[in-house]
Amino acid sequence: MVRSLPTGDIETMLKEAGRFAHEVLAPLVEHPEQILPMTQVETLTGQAVEAGLLPAGPEGDGLWGKAEGRTGFSLDALRLLGHVNGGVALHLHRLALATRLRARLGLPGSSTAVAVSLQGHYGLGRQALPRLLAGRPLDGQDGALLADYFDLGRHARVVIGGPWNALIVAGFDGTHIVWHEVARDQCAVVPQPHSHGFDELETSTVRCTAVAVPAGVAGTATYVEAFYLDCLGLMAIAAGLVDRGLALARAYAGQRRQGGALIDSFPAVQQMLGQISATARTATQQLAWFKAQQPTPEALAELCAVRSTFHPACCVVANNAMQIFGGRGYMQDFGVEKLVRDANALRVLGGTPVELALFVAEWERAR
Amino acid sequence: MTANGQALDGLVAASDPLSTRTAFKNLNVLTRPIVSYAPKTLWELDTAKLPMSLARLRRRARDFADKVLVPAALELDVTPQPPLGQWNPRLREVVSQAGRRGFMTDMVVPPPMGTAIVRGDRFPVWAIAVKTEEFSRACGGLMLTLMVPALGQCPLLFSGDVNALRRFLLPAFREIKAGEPHPFSFAITEPTAGSDVEEGHGASVYDPGVVAKRANGGWLLRGRKRFIGGGDLSKTIAVFAALEGEGMESWTCFVVQPGMAGFKPVRKELKMGMRASGTAELEFSDVFVPDTHIVGGLRQGWALNRATLNFSRIPVAGMGVGFARAALEAALEFACSTRLAGKPLVNYQEVQLMLAQMVAETSAIRSMVWQQARTLAPRQGAASMTKLYCTDRSLEVCNMAMDLMGNHSLLHANRAEKAFRDARLPIIFEGTNQINRLAVIEDMQEEVLAKCLP
């Protein structure tokens, strides 16, 4: 049963997202050493639709919903979810993105178990992708690089997501980004168990020769929007991890004694707590700025620049949280080590800091 | 090692007239030998800088790591730990082989009892650091399983207690050399005390968590120890306990062995990395330990503990070098085998820059380890600064490797993420790196205070 929410009522939607995060999701993940089974992730997907987090259809509301002003809701909700469990947050984010993409591109797929692959097989397409997205002319080398970069038949891509039987994938037809939706059974999918981070999701490498370029739906502008929203979602989830790290580390430091005193009174620990807090505050300010932006090419460049420094900072503070816990931090049952791994994964998804920096430099070169 | 006239993009080929390889060969016959050189791998170049006995050890350790540790590493990293007290058969075989090849009895005791080569240029700390690098590069968990016994042996050796050596060490060495695993453990950490037992300031006000109460002919140990490497499989455990009614200054080292009534491993930890190695919590319920199991005398435990840490922290830094190398090698392999626009990634300048930085960082921390390890008696400050700096930088190299590999770095099979998980632990154990920073200052107090005087 799909429950309709009053559109425009961000407060109500956020309250519902909070209820989902704390009352539905949190009890399922209270033992971080136990990996949430995929069947449970599937069940949660349905519950997220009921809670208004996921759009019930192409015209629905929720994360990355069609209505104006939903970016703010999406960022706040993903941060809330990331605070509780990064993997489920990523899964719901990508599902919502897939729904939006289908609606935008008029893709015919109807599966509710769908994954999205925006990146090619390695990096961010060096100088060629920013040139394409900025609307600048491509030379022959650019075209060849992008053709190879997006060639899903030749190169395996890393795909992370919940249970999926369809994949929305970006390609390149020599001039534009093109989109395809392919069924899982048309792809060569190699599950990659024991991957770093997002234990509750499936990480796999995927090849697909059935993707015929240029048969896809052209949409470079949609790629800009999708890439922007994906990066924004990754950033919001990372902010949630930072919030979680701060809460865990603060609570632990406030009750753990060393040398007869609580460790949160020692400068060595205060430095680390302060750094975590500073990163959380920075995230709040940066996300607030992006809430007011539209997914334009310029906003994408701005976001890439911010992410190139934000994600390394998140990794540093996740490590700080672990360090405050000492030996306990290294053990799976305290939950901090998962934050470290998930933060690492978010750093390398959607472009690593090095790739993002190159993307921004190339973007600005033609100004 | 030849490139057959080929060159990476943006660089000159070794056969090009502008290459130093070629240009130097055309110099005057007198200067040529001074500046000209043949290509060698980084590993060969570093090995050539070692004293002969350590170079030989490094070659042996690498050979063992490549043939025995690497093939088992990924499997043992993801295989759940067996129940308490039970061996994973593959791990047992690795330990058995290491023992037969003399890698677990070679700290300081020469043949016929041990396997150490005693020479003027073979500093024991350096030798262990060379081994920890080679083994860590192959697998953190296997390295820990093979090296923790050395940590457990340290208090016995440092005690100079002939009785302890004769009673505990030599029979164990006979077993090990015959291929029968005999793990040792070093039990200092307590459930409510990590850093307190690793630095004097904290220890001065800490209530000991394991207490020894006098009994007829011995002592009754009560309490718990936590995060003990290999603790559930150990046959000889150096347990540090305070004497009843006294503080940490009364710490005494007792040898506890499985089968003693009241001794029980109670749980194993689920760790982020180094997962081939079990880490256990040990319970002591009035375990009777005879006087003959006291190592080095009553109230000598604190000194033995600190001496052990001074000795072991440089090899821990060596672990960092090994993890950095593992990450670097994983990244290099990826950069050579993955193609973009028809050529291997290693041709792209941004990839070359990252690799060069990783090479430089790894080389820098190795230099620090080898420099500080050239001593018979490592000082607290030197040991701590080496440990904290090298392990911190090692994690940074792992981050660089993951960044180079992008989202492919998340895949277990690509090994970079494993290097990260393994590299994360030495930043915490043997004193967090924060505690080690304070240990550096503590050790230079006289110098500092002299400057503070008017």
CA angle A125, A126, A127 (to 5 degrees): 110
Q: Two tokens at A212?
A: 């015929």
| Alpha carbons B386 and B371: distance in angstroms, whole number | 10
**Percent of chain A's residues with pLDDT above 70:** 95
Q: Which residues pair with A205 in a beta bridge?
A: A158, A190
Q: Are B426 and B391 in contact (CB under 8 A)?
A: yes
Parallel, antiparallel, or unpaired: how do β-strands B294-295 and B252-256 relate?
antiparallel
Q: Which amino acid does the sequence have at A332?
A: Q
Indicate the burial class of B379 (C-beta count within 10 angstroms; 0-12, 13-18, 19 or more). middle
Q: Closest chain B residue to A145 measured between Cα atoms?
A: B341
| Alpha carbons B366 and B47: distance in angstroms, whole number | 11
Residue to mutate among A344, A346, A360, with most B CBs inside 10 A, is A344
Q: Using pLDDT thresholds of 50, 70 and 90, give the confidence band for residue A2.
A: very low
Which residues of A are less than 8 Å from B271 in CB distance? 330-332
Q: Are B186 and B151 in contact (CB under 8 A)?
A: yes
**What is the ipTM for the molecules in this complex?**
0.96
| Alpha carbons A322 and B312: distance in angstroms, whole number | 23
A248-296: pLDDT as tens digits:
999 999 999 988 899 999 999 999 999 999 999 999 999 999 999 999 9
| Alpha carbons A256 and A234: distance in angstroms, whole number | 33
Which residues of A are less than 8 Å from B273 in CB distance? 330
Which residues of B are less than 8 Å from A151 in CB distance? none
Q: pLDDT at residue A367 above 90?
A: no
A57-82: pLDDT as tens digits:
767 789 998 666 678 999 999 999 99
Whether B9 has its CB under 8 Å from any CB of chain A: the answer is no
Whether B205 has its CB under 8 Å from any CB of chain A: the answer is yes
Long-range contacts of A24-31 (CB under 8 A, 24+ apart): A24/A51, A25/A81, A25/A84, A25/A85, A25/A88, A26/A84, A26/A85, A29/A84, A29/A85, A29/A88, A31/A333
Q: How many C-beta atoms surround the C-beta of residue B1 within 10 A?
A: 8
The answer to whether A203 contacts B410, with C-beta atoms less than 8 Å apart, is yes
Residue A269: its H or E element:
helix A267-291
Which residues of B are less than 8 Å from A359 in CB distance? none
Q: What sign has the CA pseudo-torsion B248, B254, B256, B260?
A: negative
Q: Two tokens at A184?
A: 């899982």
Q: Two tokens at B343?
A: 């050529």
Whether B288 has its CB under 8 Å from any CB of chain A: the answer is no
Q: What is the number of CB-based contacts under 8 A between chain A and chain B?
A: 146
Provide the CA B324 distance to its chain's centre, in angstroms.
Answer: 13
Those of residues 393-452 in B touching chain A at CB distance below 8 A are: 395, 399, 402-413, 417, 420-421, 424-425, 427-429, 432-434, 437-438
The answer to whether A148 contacts B341, with C-beta atoms less than 8 Å apart, is yes
A6-38: pLDDT as tens digits:
555 788 889 999 999 999 999 999 999 999 999
Q: How many C-beta atoms surround the C-beta of residue B391 within 10 A?
A: 29
The answer to whether A195 contacts B201, with C-beta atoms less than 8 Å apart, is no
Q: Two tokens at B16?
A: 């090009």
DSSP one-letter string for A222-236? HHHHHHHHHHHHHHH
Q: Closest chain A residue to B202 measured between Cα atoms?
A: A259
Q: For residue A111, give the 3-state DSSP assignment.
A: coil
Provide the CA B169 distance to its chain's centre, in angstroms.
Answer: 21
Q: Across the interface, which of A149, A158, A197 has its CB nearest the CB of B408?
A: A158
A114-145: pLDDT as tens digits:
999 999 999 999 999 999 999 999 999 999 99
Residue B226 confidence (pLDDT): 93
Does a cis peptide bond (omega within 30 degrees of 0) precede residue A214? yes
Residue A8 confidence (pLDDT): 56
Place of tokens 């150990």: B234
Q: A162 CB contacts (<8 Å, ≥6 apart)?
A: A38, A41, A42, A45, A91, A94, A95, A113, A115, A201, A202
Q: Which amino acid does the sequence have at B272?
A: M
Which residues of A are less than 8 Å from B424 in CB distance? 319, 322, 330, 337, 340
Q: Across the interface, which of A269, A332, A349 has its CB nearest the CB of B271?
A: A332
Q: Which residues pair with B218 in a beta bridge?
A: B215, B290
Closest CA to B149 of B252, B234, B269, B68: B234
B375-422: pLDDT as tens digits:
998 999 999 999 999 999 999 999 999 999 999 999 999 999 999 999
Place of tokens 């620990």: A269
Residue B445 confidence (pLDDT): 95
% helix, strand, coil for chain B, step of 5: 55, 15, 30
Residue to mutate among A138, A196, A263, A340, with most B CBs inside 10 A, is A196
B38-59 in b/e burial notation, b at 16+ Cβ within 10 A?
Answer: eeeeeeeebbeebbebbeebbe
Q: Across the interface, which of B202, B271, B273 has its CB nearest the CB of A259?
A: B202
Mean residue pLDDT across chain A: 93
Which ranges in B288-300 belong to alpha helices (H)? none
Which residues in chain B show pLDDT less than 70? 1-2, 193-199, 202-203, 205
**Whole-prediction pTM value?**
0.96
Which residues of B are less than 8 Å from A195 in CB distance? 410-412, 417
The answer to whether A330 contacts B272, with C-beta atoms less than 8 Å apart, is yes
Q: For residue A86, give the 3-state DSSP assignment.
A: helix
Shortest distance between the Cα of A362 and any Cα of chain B, in A, equals 13
Residue A67 confidence (pLDDT): 65
| Alpha carbons A124 and A129: distance in angstroms, whole number | 7
Half-sphere exposure of B85 (CA within 13 A, CB side): 8
CA distances from B145 to A24, A52, B161, B229 (A): 41, 50, 26, 8
Average pLDDT over every residue of A312-325: 98
